Chains A and B, each alone.
Chain A
Amino acid sequence: MRKDAFLKTVLAAAFVAFVLWGGLPLFRHRHHDVPIVKGPGVTAVRRLSEYSPGLKGTPGDTFIYVLQGREPGGKALLMGDTHSNEPEGMLSAIIVVENGIVEKGTLYVIPVFNNSGSRNTRPGDGYPLYFDVATDWGQRRFRFGNRDASPLDQWPDPDVYIHYPERQLLSYIDIRNTNRTWPGRANGPLMEKVTFGAMELMRREKIDLAIDVHGAETMFPVTNCIVAPESSVKIATLASLTVKAKEGFESHVERSPVGFRGLSHREIGDHGPALPFLLEAPIPFLDQPTGPKTTKLLLDGKDPFLLSLSKKKKLFVPYDESGWPLEKRVGQNLSVTLEIFRQFSKKAADRAIAVSGVPRYADLVKNGVGHFLADPAKTPAGGVVMN
């Protein structure tokens, strides 16, 4: 009897230690806030719950940085971290928040669109919980999240996700994917409330352009591109041609499919006033046949298996020993974003959007992403928002 109790005590102690060892890093990651510095152009910081009250007090709520211009003009919404395992979107948005000054029009920036997803991870794929970007003043740490919102915040998943309002049957997991839950609804599941908030923002503020910044696998055909529906395909094409001619990188145009519902580049234009664009930069980290999912692979995009596949012409982008580093991905996103603003402003002069201070592709490739990130420790009180 005593022997039995001893064994159970030992097993229970091992169980508690196992749970703490595995669970505490996940707990800390979920509660780790990332500072974002309010740059010289930020005129207000709002919350998405102001547009979707159901988000108030939930992990779905997130910050909106408003950069109001000196002169009136058009309005644009820039979203990063729709998929929190594609950090080039979030970093592009943060660089705009911390460096951008709007001369004409107003810019709304949501760096962490899927806040819940950014506090989730994918342990089965060996995802790192954080990544550090080298800056001129030290390392800046960011959370590395998952494609989908955390099941802690939206649970259970259905057997099949029935998209609202089209009733198309989608994969069960896409009910937590904020690029399948557009246009959302005020009383739907949490991720539908997130996309509903963004739709309301666009409807109430009369947003002209909505840019959703992503990353995509090198083995996925919809990569290194701008995805645009019929309404915005002309501007996307002009932006694509211009960056290729002037800045020397490719970002071709993909048509947004009409029959595939729930995606930002489809539903934003169908349910609101804005012209939608979805930017995809190649991110080798997301490809399946790579080596370990390390922060090094995330940052430099160098992988010997992808290099081998590239030689066999199995990738949809050019790939060599230089990989596809973060600075290239963020640089592409920022240049294409600025070019979309410029092309739209040429077309609608009374709704022009002019932004200065945001680096372009060549600046990023030359100086790195960290060069454009501010030091939160050296920012005066009230100048930092914890995300």
Chain B
Amino acid sequence: MIMIAYYVITAFLLGLLAWNFVREKSRRGDLALYLLVMVPLLLRLLRWK
């Protein structure tokens, strides 16, 4: 049950970062950082790592 909740939190954070990535207009450095932070979250959600 806790594990499922953690997967939901992961999906939420991933969505939040993806939304920020799409909405970002000027700061190019932030775009790269958003993607970098998304890597472990996506790997966990895909159940690859």
Which residues of A are in contact with B by a Cβ distance under 8 Å? 4, 7-8, 11-12, 14-15, 18-19, 22-24, 26-27, 30, 123, 152, 154-156
Contacts and interface: CB of A to CB of B under 8 A. Distances in A.
Contact of A26 (B6, B32, B48): B48
A18 to B, nearest CB: 7
A89 to B, nearest CB: 25
Nearest to A25: B48
Interface string B7-43: 0000000000000011001001001100100110011
Given A15-B38, A19-B43, A156-B3, A7 B48 contact: no
A227 to B, nearest CB: 33
Secondary structure at chain B's binding surface: helix, strand, loop or mixed? helix
Contacts of A156: 2-3, 6
A23 B44 CA distance: 10
Given A27-B48, A156-B2, 15 more contacts: A4-B25, A7-B28, A8-B31, A11-B31, A15-B35, A18-B39, A22-B39, A23-B46, A23-B48, A26-B49, A30-B48, A152-B47, A155-B3, A155-B6, A156-B6
A127 B35 CA distance: 26
A7 B31 contact: yes
14 contacts: A4-B25, A7-B28, A8-B21, A11-B31, A15-B38, A19-B39, A19-B42, A22-B39, A23-B46, A23-B48, A26-B43, A26-B48, A27-B48, A156-B6
A152 B44 contact: yes
Contacts of A8: 21-22, 31
Contacts of A4: 25
A8 B46 CA distance: 22
B26 to A, nearest CB: 9
Contact of A12 (B25, B35, B47): B35
A19 B38 CA distance: 10
A214 B44 CA distance: 30
Contacts of A12: 21, 35
Nearest to B25: A4
A8 B28 CA distance: 9
Contacts of A123: 49
A18 B37 CA distance: 13
A12 B38 CA distance: 11
Nearest to B36: A15
Contacts of B21: 8, 12
A11 B32 contact: yes
The 10 closest A-B pairs by CB, nearest first: A23-B48, A15-B35, A27-B48, A26-B49, A155-B3, A23-B43, A26-B48, A152-B47, A156-B6, A11-B31
A319 to B, nearest CB: 34
B49 A152 contact: yes
A11 B35 contact: yes
Contact of A23 (B22, B28, B38, B49): B49
Residue from A4, A8, A15 with most neighbouring chain B CB atoms (10 Å)? A15
A12 B35 CA distance: 8
Contacts of A15: 35, 38-39
Residue from A18, A30, A155 with most neighbouring chain B CB atoms (10 Å)? A155
Residue from B6, B31, B44, B48 with most neighbouring chain A CB atoms (10 Å)? B48
B25 to A, nearest CB: 7
Contacts of A23: 43, 46, 48-49
Nearest to B35: A15
A1 B13 CA distance: 26
B46 to A, nearest CB: 7
Contacts of B22: 8
A14 B35 CA distance: 9
Contacts of A24: 48
B22 to A, nearest CB: 8
Contacts of B46: 23, 27
A18 B49 CA distance: 14
A139 B25 CA distance: 54
A152 B45 CA distance: 9
Nearest to A23: B48
